[in-house]
Structure 1
Amino acid sequence: MLDLTRDHKVGSGKAQVEAGGVDETADRSPDIPGPPSKGARIALMWAGSAISTVGMRTLGVAYPLLALAQTGSPTAAGWAGFALTIPILVFYLPGGLLVDRVSPRRIILLAEGGRWLTVTAVLVSMLYGGPSLPFLMGAAALEGTLWVLYTLAEAALLPRLVQRVMMRQALAKSEAASHLASIAGRPLGGYLFGVGGAIPFALNAVLFAISFGLFVGLRREPRRRSTRSSLLRELPGGFRALIDQPFLGGSIMLITFTNLMVNALIMVFVAGSQGMPSVEIGLVLASSGVGGAVGSAVAYLRHPTRSVLRVHTWIWVVALLLAAVGAWTGARPLFAMGFFSVGFGGALSNVAIRAVEVNNIDPGTLARVVGVSRLSSHGALCLAAPLGGLLVSWWGVTGGTVVLFVVMLFAAVLFTGTPLRERFTPPLPDLLPEGPERHASPGAGQLSGDLGHVVGQSGPLSGDRTFGQTHG
């Protein structure tokens, strides 16, 4: 793992490479305060990440609500929400290539600074009668684009800060922070907008400024080598890397399918929630975040099993069965239990998948692999809404839920009990044991035009590791 400090000389044996970097205490004057320790840098990053995620979740609610308040049109609210999410389909692939070429820290600072300017512009426009719909859609689209760049850069940066002995625990903590921030962000956005339309944007101006300051506290990274490869030639690098990794390729297909199932279930549930108190609806939907936090805690304590993808598949079957029974009997707590199971299983599989990325993917292809996986898994969200609506239109809430369960059960049998299991639910490859960090190889952490090569079936590539997210 590369150390992010710079301009230190390698002195005696005590100042030699530690965890692939230079001893931060070498040749330092005792009167000059040193850079933050690795632990402090990780804490800064987690704090900045949590703040940034809360900001995105609150804005995901605030932009559509502001459009509705300004125009009185639900269609306008839908367009604002669409503008916020469309960058997911457009910018994950080119964004991954950009992050692979540029310092992730610089990308994060650019993203957080740009997000601060965006919400500040919305606030200023509200002082003069409120933003027009085109202005609001443009601001929402810019927020979504900068969020994509931020998440890709964060994925590239974390493995450079974490020692190998703590990598699995760090991934589990990051997963838990994401779920907890999502739980807090969405209801907070709705509540604050109810208090005052400008308050969510004012809060986010403060949050993004704090996040920017936290990431400024991270040390600069070594300059990356320039590459002579063309952009068009490098763009498919994430796809090529996944072809060489059966587990990661299978996990992306499986997660995309299960994301489609669960988000269609959410639409079916929402369609059948007329007459339910809004607090009860929120609690049922928030149960998936609680399950994700619990699953992250389990992943922190336990190593993933080799059959993690097959376990993931059958957890989804159980979750949809609970939802189907809940729809049939009217027992809403069963829906909550189903969503809790989804969050729990998703967290377990996310940490396992990230651990494989950490070990098996060339750091020069890091963000492109993450971009491909997130484009695929989040792209399922675009199909989930119309699918859920069609199911309710054709068969009603109960019938639609039962159809989703039957489809998931059939898929689980195919994915785990037939030869298709080698394609969709391959076993977890052997991971390097947690222990002392590997020494950094020459050029580690710098952009490489090639993918590197995998040692055997699942051996590591030299240099830093990747960090991705597959479950939405």
Structure 2
Amino acid sequence: MSRVAEHAGAAPAPPPLRRNRDFLLLWSGSAVAIIGSTASTVAYPLLVLAVTGSPSAAGLVGFVVLLPALVFQLPAGILVDSWNRKRVMMWCDGLRAVGAASVVLALLLGELRLAHVMVVGFVEGTLTVLNGLASTAAVPNVVHPSQLSAALAGNEARGRAATMIGTPLGGILFGVGRAVPFVLETFAYLVSLATLLGIRKDFQTARPGERAGAGPAGAAAGESRRTTGRAH
């Protein structure tokens, strides 16, 4: 009798991740955004080289686009753990879409300037750091604790696969047209924003006594910095 009662009172098993609507929306939206972001990271130096004919300017833009990932990981993690993560991700997607669209518009008007590309690239790089940390920190709020390891592993695999797709895609699309990679990027961020709007769960479950910056985003940022340090 006690066994029957114990079985009846047991919590039901969570649905598999492939049936977790909110996780799938978060996972797929981020995948599309990473593809668009990676494609533009490749395309920015190519664009500057094509417009200015200067390899030095192209190299400088490539450095500026990647700089935020090197210097902002830790402070961004602290901020993400203090702010509403879903709003952070939505603002990041919206602003990145505006930045990419501004490059497309400047190209169409024939008014693209090196300073414009550098500012947009740096801002997009910074927003990408914030978005990535917020996305990682949101995972524990959309999956069951027993599935967290599998979900994070899925995120890691998604990031690597999306980067592998986006890297050659940026060069291929640039060969089709100078504005094409940035059209894709704009579309990718809008898709990611739409998936975030469809997620019902909150990304910001507070933990009692948790210090600012001590949450999952801060931990992820610290681990990223340590990994980078070991790599060098």
Fold shared per TM-score above 0.5: yes
User: Counterparts of 1:41 and 1:131 in 2: how far apart (Å)?
Assistant: 39
Shift of 1:72: 0.4
Is the CA contact 1:89–1:379 (under 8 Å) kept in the aligned structure 2?
no
The answer on 1:113 being equivalent to 2:94 is yes
Selected match of 1:167 from 143, 148, 155:
148
Superposed CA offset, 1:399-438 (max 9, x none): xxxxxxxxxxxxxxxxxxxxxxxxxxxxxxxxxxxxxxxx
The answer on 1:367 being equivalent to 2:196 is no
The answer on 1:72 being equivalent to 2:47 is no
The answer on 1:132 being equivalent to 2:149 is no
* Unpaired runs of at least 5, structure 2: 1-7
User: Counterparts of 1:376 and 1:136 in 2: how far apart (Å)?
Assistant: 30
- Partner of 1:62, secondary structure, is helix
The answer on 1:193 being equivalent to 2:174 is yes
Higher helix share: 2
- Partner of 1:162, secondary structure, is coil
Selected match of 2:20 from 39, 51, 55:
39
User: Counterparts of 1:161 and 1:18 in 2: how far apart (Å)?
Assistant: 17
Match runs of 1:72-471 below 5 Å = 72-219=53-200, 221=202, 364-378=214-228
- Partner of 2:63, secondary structure, is helix
Structure 2 letter corresponding to 1:97: I
In structure 2, the CA distance between the partners of 1:183 and 1:206, relative to structure 1 (3 Å rule), is same
Is the CA contact 1:51–1:211 (under 8 Å) kept in the aligned structure 2?
yes
Shift of 1:51: 0.4
Q: TM-score, normalised by structure 2?
A: 0.85
Q: Which has the larger radius of gyration?
A: 1
* Unpaired runs of at least 5, structure 1: 1-13, 20-36, 238-363, 384-472
User: Counterparts of 2:45 and 2:228 in 1: how far apart (Å)?
Assistant: 19
Which residue in the other structure is 1:48 paired with?
29
User: Counterparts of 1:372 and 1:130 in 2: how far apart (Å)?
Assistant: 40
Q: TM-score, normalised by structure 1?
A: 0.43
- Partner of 1:221, secondary structure, is coil
Which residue in the other structure is 2:3 paired with?
none
Superposed CA offset, 1:338-395 (max 9, x none): xxxxxxxxxxxxxxxxxxxxxxxxxx422112112223434677x6xxxxxxxxxxxx
Superposed CA offset, 1:6-39 (max 9, x none): xxxxxxxx9xx989xxxxxxxxxxxxxxxxx970
In structure 2, the CA distance between the partners of 1:217 and 1:367, relative to structure 1 (3 Å rule), is same
Is the CA contact 1:100–1:366 (under 8 Å) kept in the aligned structure 2?
yes
In structure 2, the CA distance between the partners of 1:70 and 1:111, relative to structure 1 (3 Å rule), is same
- Partner of 1:197, secondary structure, is coil
CA RMSD, aligned part only?
2.9
Q: What percentage of residue pairs aligned between the two structures are identical?
A: 37
User: Counterparts of 1:170 and 1:137 in 2: how far apart (Å)?
Assistant: 35
Structure 1 letter corresponding to 2:146: V
User: Counterparts of 1:42 and 1:93 in 2: how far apart (Å)?
Assistant: 25
Shift of 1:127: 1.9
In structure 2, the CA distance between the partners of 1:67 and 1:52, relative to structure 1 (3 Å rule), is same
Is the CA contact 1:38–1:162 (under 8 Å) kept in the aligned structure 2?
no
